[in-house]
Structure 1
Amino acid sequence: MYGELIPESVKKTLLKQKYHIVGRHSAVKTCRWVRKSLVENTVCYKSKFYGIQTHRCLQMTCALNFCTQQCLYCWRYYDSSIDRTKMTDIEVDDPQEIIQGALIEQKRLLSGYNPKAHNKVDPLKYSEALSPKHVAISLSGEPTLYPRLGELIEEFHRMDFTTFLVTNGTVPERLSEITEPTQLYVSVSAPTEEIYRRLCRPQIHDGWQKLNETLEMLHSFSCPTVLRLTLVKQHNLEHVEDYAKLIAKAESVYIEPKAYMWVGHSRDRLALSHMPTHEEIREFSENLSQLTGYRILDESTPSRVVLLSKLAAPMKLI
């Protein structure tokens, strides 16, 4: 069933990491913040910033093992021995089937938190978690490679989900044609082409140009747009002035400077010393604020992330 799209070695590794594979190129994995919300009654920074219900968030991908980059800081597992930069030459799964499969697997992933077996979990909260209302289309791979992404978003909206789409910005032609998500994230992990080639390691020849096309078109979106700056010491944290220039081009609603976290497979490529502290992220954000006019609205120390905007306060999504 998975042969031609997900090599067996990749599948075995992902299953060990508690990914639940859906169909031929999709997957679900429970975010640790969902688990913490159920057991410890804490919330993720997306709840703190934008008001979503952490325990009702579905984290999924429709492009498992497909990406246009091989970022040094990426914690996901990927197979670098084969070309996985496009999905237009394969038969892809139907959006409705992907969603139904993802919801089934989410319930399986949460089954261990049943209050009958886990006395720290509130029964009502658990019941709500089994019926998610928010979806983060990210997890692994580049979702804009999935040719039917617009239909996927439309179907989630038909089911009254809020949608968070996270993209590396290298497929602007897909972004220009899809139904808008509730919120659009663009990962901008390099402020210059030189850093982009070294840190993001594009697998397509025009990745930097494509990213800039995406940034230039952000003002045309009516949904809130976010630039996610994943900051890595000794790579991009020291380049706040260059980031300010890109932000002036994009004019996104929000900016989220966030620390690279030394987890997963990124530990094979980077050292613990590359992970910024929250204080360093805060200092970067203060400098960025002075250069761009974006104000600091909020921050989350556990996630090492700061929220900036020209709005007086973030828009709540529920």
Structure 2
Amino acid sequence: VLTTLSGDIEDAPRIVSGIGELDRATGGGFVRGSALLVGGDPGIGKSTLLTQAAAALASKGHRIVYVSGEEAVAQIRLRAQRLGVADTPVELAAETNVEDILATIADGKRPDLVILDSIQTLWTDMADSAPGTVTQVRAAAQAMIRYAKSTGAAIVLVGHVTKEGQIAGPRVVEHMVDAVLYFEGEGGHHYRILRTVKNRFGPTDEIGVFEMSDMGLREVANPSELFLGERHAKAPGAAVFAGMEGTRPVLVEIQALVAPSSLGTPRRAVVGWDGARLSMILAVLEAHC
């Protein structure tokens, strides 16, 4: 059916969670009828973040369905109790078959948001291969995205990340969804960064910053304060750098250390940045400064 750009929008275009850093990363909230892919290392806090988001939306009267293929319902309830959100009306299911999931969520009012944790555990009768294979992941994602577009429900797919830092499974899934977010964190640190790498409905390279605590994730409205909280102003070889992350300026500390080398050719090493880019910038500075 052909239509025009000037048609009416039936529902509100976005579902705002009220979690400021999450809404910032998604471009202002979940868009109805969209599919969003969230990836991250195991144990980084993806399920915690989405449980808190589901509870926040459900408390506002939205119908939220959380489907887990990795945990039993009792495990999800335990996490909700730890986070203090067990009394919110989030609907739970432990299921991996796409056809059964669609039949379950079809009961009652259309869901506003469906969370599927994770895409690697889903399988569909339309494909003959084993769950987790490229064929199954692609077919399951296609079925859920088709459901989102036809009903107007927003879909969140959780994806595992490989050791190279890419979401496991076929790259075509990242092209199929409307937004891709990575949940990142360094071992031994309590802060987490939700980074947007693709968003058809908002800016890319946007970040949301969270702090992990015993009660779950706490949003950090001023990341610069967190990043510079342990800074020693008089420490040699350290300087503050002002950079842009999406639409937000962020202050971070850059540290440099020079030590004698026993090698014939001294070596430069860098952490958190591309080594080739560092060599190019240092060459430019040496030539012109």
Bigger fraction of residues in strand: 2
Bigger fraction of residues in helix: 1
Larger Rg: 2
**TM-score with structure 1 length normalisation?**
0.30
